[in-house]
Structure 1
Amino acid sequence: MGGIGEPGGGPGPREGPAQAGAPLPTCCWEQIRPHDQPGDKWLVIERRVYDISRWAQRHPGGSRLIGHHGAEDATDAFHAFHQDLNFVRKFLQPLLIGELAPEEPSQDGLQNAQLIEDFRALRQAAEDMKLFEANPTFFALLLGHILAMEVLAWLIVYLLGPGWVPSALAAAILAVSQAQCWCLQHDLGHASIFRKSRWNQVAQQFVMGQLKYGKKKRRYLPYNHQHLYFFLIGPPLLTLVNFEVENLAYMLVCMQWADLLWAASFYSRFFLSYIPFYGVPGALLLFVAVRVLESHWFVWITQMNHIPKEIGHEKHRDWASSQLAATCNVEPSPFTDWFSGHLNFQIEHHLFPTMPRHNYHKVAPLVKALCAKHGLNYEVKPFLTALVDIVGSLKKSGNVWLDAYLHQ
């Protein structure tokens, strides 16, 4: 068998990229498994083996996302996140170092090969139904409705004056409009699936589904009470701090000029519209109020599908079952669909992150049928139950941390 490392041994001598036209070295999973270490990452896509060790840090989705698939088959994740596969393959070609031997299975570990085959057939059916194609009219109407909400908020202050009640109502409308704007941007560029949204970035404030802080005797905060202080530092502050600082910095570093232009246009519209009513200090106060209300929307709506679900990063798990374990749906209704920006269809969103949101309800019956065939749990919760489960999950995770902290 062609040499990419020695069977049963360590990484072995590293070879350069495969030469164009030359036969590819073959390897088995036993040779691939050791290459899942920091600075030493291989992965398999469509039975070809790639050395992403150096390139992972430049991966547009982040090294953590692509590194999660180290030493395993990443074919379905590759298809899920990339719309133009031929374009992406140009970046993969220099990283190609071999291919699986003919007698090797496409996936390492005990996986349901029939489930994987059926899921890929489902994805192909969705492609044939053109469910990955965006409807320009839908997004034009969405943008128009966002701007209309901004006009409505301004009219309330213009007609009723800058009192407390009109200001609070305008702030609420602006917060929802900005939440819808975030959904629009989220549609156009989905971030990592495995990161539990923003919560992994505030890990010292909250612990969810993990024992490591307890086992290591770390106590940055009294996590057994996190379901209580969540109301003080979770919904009120996450968007205000994270979006205004980190997201703007990310746009600058990654040179996302379209997003920066849209953000700048909102700031311009906002302050030019409200400084005449409130003055500079009052307009800044209104801006903070809008962001705090938006933060409440962001935390409750995005986390009702995530925090109560499985958080671990289990290896060697097929794409479909891993996504179904990590999230759930919330019962659809005209209000829930609109208010959540269709994020209540989180199962479909995770399985097909590049699918436009207006097609989730079309692919949902196909996903349900797949789950029924293979005995997978397609979980759908009532809206209020999903919100309450956030707090319950925080309390449960906090008690798990406390038990590990005191007894392990």
Structure 2
Amino acid sequence: MTFAEKPEGNRSLVDEKQQYLGARHQANGKPGASGKARLSARQEANDKCDLPRKSLNMYTWQEIQRHSHETDQWLVINRKVYDVTGWADRHPGGRQVLNHYAGEDATDVFRAMHPDPDIVRLYLKPLLIGELAPEEPNQERNKNSRLVEDFQELRRTLETMNLFNANLGFFFLHFGQLLILEALAWVIVWHFGSGWLITMFISLLLTVAQVQGAFLQHDMGHLSIFKKAKWNRLMQKFVMGHLKGLSAKWWNNQHFQHHVKTNIYPKDPDVDLSPFLVIGDLQPVKYCKKIKFINYEKQHLYFCMVGVHLFMPIAFNLKSMQEMYRRRYWEDIAWVSSSYIRYFITFVPFYGIFGTLVLMFLVKFLESPWIAYITQMSHIPMKMSNEENQNWFSTQVLATCNVEQSFFNDWFTGHLNFQTEHHLFPTMPRHNYHKGAPLVKSLCAKHGLPYVNKPMLKAFGDIVRALKKSGALWKEAYCMHPEI
């Protein structure tokens, strides 16, 4: 689908999208007194576009790059210039995502992050303020225009191959897997009792369900699996909130920042692990002057012995709860509360309140290293940098790597062993990553970029080696400042 095309029969999807956004973003923050407040996205966009507007201005890249502040944000998409300053607070992906691309060309990231760009374009129309001057290149002058064009051609090829179409049966099969594992754990403890061997076995079942649930909610955060947007949102809320016990909105805001500026400090929240870890080549030098109470030279040992087990309870569950209550995400609070209520209803009759809490902690303890190694193996060993304003393809390829494909690796990682393809095309269903991988590899070879594909055990070991290297850099920088 090209940017100029509009799908037929899209009215209901557009209407539901606006109901979701419009009901939450009225000027007074309260539901309107009448149904007129809930206009469809198409009606709202058309109304705004019918208002008189002066002719479009022409801008140079130098002028656009001056509008890169939180209170003054311009974006360029397909040579059109948009002022998104007033829209940032309403952006469903979070205001920071827009701020990260202020003053830059956002064509490729816009197409990458939106499964239904036609809907988004309805909101872009009122924000249009001008175009690039005819003599200006399509991207900033520091970018490789040939590589950008080749990548856009690659995307069109993948779209022609229908690799962005989701197989509904694939995702329902994985969803059924979660429900079966959860039900089987209850049946086993109900039939065989709550002995410690049984407890360990059902803990393993529940751990697998939690990990596979994490992979499924990851899909729901990126894809439009259902034709109706409300069903996509409902499924993500159910999997993320009810089955996983985490805030979907918090996760989306964090994860989308990670995707649009992968391994770029400090824009990617996933690479800010201070004060517990310093990663890459830049953070160790920076923190040698700030933090004195942690010996980062041994951080690879802390990570293996302690860090991986705290990844889910602290980095995810605790931060999720903190953000939900701080930002008043009432809907997410209700979904997460239902998760804990279900857990207690299911297991308190067999274990009591304290025993159920222990069971919950045991499952998180087992889940945490699994998730930690899978999510970090493709990022921590790769390039980390400050903002360099590179093109989308180069940024994602240099910041990610793949793990060799096999049936087990695909299942064990939730297809996140194809991180390079996932980051280049976040809205591509994971069952199609392997089909697009040869074309991505070919484009990397054409432009001299590394396409890294490792055995899984080596990928796990590279996490430890990367942390050890960063710790040594910290030690070296720290010793250069004996007065600190």
CA contact (8 A) 1:162 1:278 kept: yes
The structural deviation recorded for 1:175 is 1.1
Shift of 1:381: 0.7
1:293-332 equivalent positions in 2, closer than 5 A: 293-332=366-405
| Bigger mean CA offset, 377-386 vs 246-255 | 246-255
1:202–1:60 distance in 2 versus 1, CA, 3 Å: farther
- Could you tell me which residue of structure 2 aligns to residue 66 of structure 1? 98
SS in structure 1 of the partner of residue 98 of structure 2: helix
> Are the counterparts in 2 of residues 109 and 316 from structure 1 also a CA contact under 8 Å?
no
The AA in structure 2 aligned to 1:83 is P
Matched residues in 2 for 1:102 and 1:394: separation? 48
Q: Distance in 2 between matches of 1:92 and 1:179?
A: 37
Structure-1 separation of matches of 2:220 and 2:351: 35
C-alpha deviation, 1:95, in angstroms:
2.9
Q: Residue 294 of structure 1: CA displacement?
A: 1.4
> Aligned residue for 1:135?
167
1:50-97, CA deviations, whole angstroms, 9 ceiling, x for partnerless residues? 233444344332333322222221100000001222221233233322
Once residues 118 and 143 of structure 2 are traced to their aligned partners in structure 1, the CA distance between those partners, rounded to angstroms, is 28
Give the Cα–Cα distance (whole angstroms) in 1 for the partners of residues 134 and 65 of structure 2: 17
Summarize deviations over 1:157-196 as a string: whole Å, max 9, x none: 3454322222122212211211111111111114321355
Once the two structures are superposed, the pairs formed by residues 100-119 of structure 1 within 5 Å of their partners are 100-119=132-151
Of 88, 104, 121, which residue of structure 1 is paired with 2:153? 121
Give, in whole Å, the separation in 2 of the partners of 1:320 and 1:407: 37
Q: Quick check: 1:150–1:174 contact (8 Å CA) kept in 2?
A: yes
In the aligned structure 2, how far is the partner of 1:320 from the partner of 1:371?
9
Cα RMSD for the two superposed structures: 2.6
Within 5 Å, which residues of 2 pair with 1:212-251?
212=283, 214-215=285-286, 217-219=289-291, 221-248=294-321
Of the candidates 185, 202, 210, which is equivalent to residue 178 of structure 1?
Answer: 210
**Can you list the C-alpha shifts for 1:19-75, whole angstroms capped at 9, x where unaligned?**
756321111112222332343332211111223344434433233332222222110
Tell me if structure 2 keeps the 8 A contact 1:157–1:166.
Answer: yes
The answer as to 2:467 corresponding to 1:394 is: yes
Partner in structure 1 of residue 414 of structure 2: 341
- Give, in whole Å, the separation in 2 of the partners of 1:260 and 1:384: 38
In structure 2, do the counterparts of structure 1 residues 93 and 233 end up closer, same or farther at CA, with 3 Å as the change threshold? farther
Aligned pairs for 1:234-383 within 5 A: 234-248=307-321, 253=327, 257=331, 263=336, 266-383=339-456
Greater mean deviation of Cα atoms: 362-371 or 141-150: 362-371
**CA deviation digits over 1:241-281, x for unaligned, max 9?**
34333335656758585x76765554344323322221111
Matches of 2:210 and 2:63 in 1, distance apart?
49
User: Secondary structure at the residue paired with 1:189?
Assistant: helix
Query: 2: distance between equivalents of 1:201 and 1:265?
Result: 31
Q: Deviations over 1:275-324 (max 9, x none)?
A: 22211111110011111211111111111111111122433311111100
Which amino acid in the other structure matches residue 285 of structure 1?
A: V
Does the 8 A contact of 1:26 with 1:101 survive in 2?
yes
Q: For residue 47 of structure 1, what is the amino acid of its counterpart?
A: R
1:204 to 237, 262, 275: 275
Query: Once the 2 structures are TM-superposed, how far is the Cα of residue 389 of structure 1 from its aligned partner?
Result: 0.8
RCO higher in structure (CA 8 A, sep ≥6) = 1
Aligned in 2, Cα 1:58/1:234: closer, same or farther, shift over 3 Å?
farther
SS in 1 for 2:104: coil
Q: Is the 8 A contact 1:226 1:398 kept in 2?
A: yes
Q: Take 1:198 and 1:76, find their aligned partners in 2: how far apart are those partners?
A: 21
Amino acid at match of 1:88: V
Match of 1:99, SS state, is strand
**CA shift digits 1:115-166 (9 cap, x unpaired):** 2112111111222222222211111111111111223333443454322222
Would you say the 8 A contact 1:32–1:71 is kept in 2? yes
Residues 291 and 393 of structure 1: CA distance in aligned 2, closer, same or farther (over 3 Å) = same
**Alignment-derived partner of residue 23 in structure 1:** 55
Counterparts of 2:84 and 2:388, CA distance in 1: 18
Gap change, CA 1:30 and 1:202, over 3 Å in 2? same
| TM-score normalised to structure 1 length | 0.87
Which range moves more in the overlay, 331-340 or 244-253? Answer: 244-253
- How far apart in 2 are the matches of 1:204 and 1:62? 25
Paired with 1:43 and 1:211, the residues of 2 have a C-alpha distance of: 28
Query: C-alpha separation between the residues in 2 aligned to 1:187 and 1:251?
Result: 22
Structure 1 gap segments, 5+ residues each = 1-16
Q: Distance in 2 between matches of 1:212 and 1:330?
A: 26
Change (3 A) 1:218 1:370: same
1:98 is paired with a residue whose SS is: strand
Map of 1:3 onto structure 2: none
Letter in 2 for 1:85: P
2:71 is aligned, of 28, 35, 39, to 39
Aligned-pair identity in percent equals 48
Aligned partners of 1:211 and 1:404 also within 8 Å: no
- What's the secondary structure of 1:236's corresponding residue? helix
For 2:119, the equivalent position in structure 1 comes to 87
Q: With structure 2 as the length reference, what TM-score do the two structures score? A: 0.74
Amino acid at match of 2:355: G
Q: Deviations over 1:91-111 (max 9, x none)?
A: 323332221100100111332
**Alpha-carbon distance between aligned partners in 2 of 1:176 and 1:119, rounded to the nearest angstrom:** 37
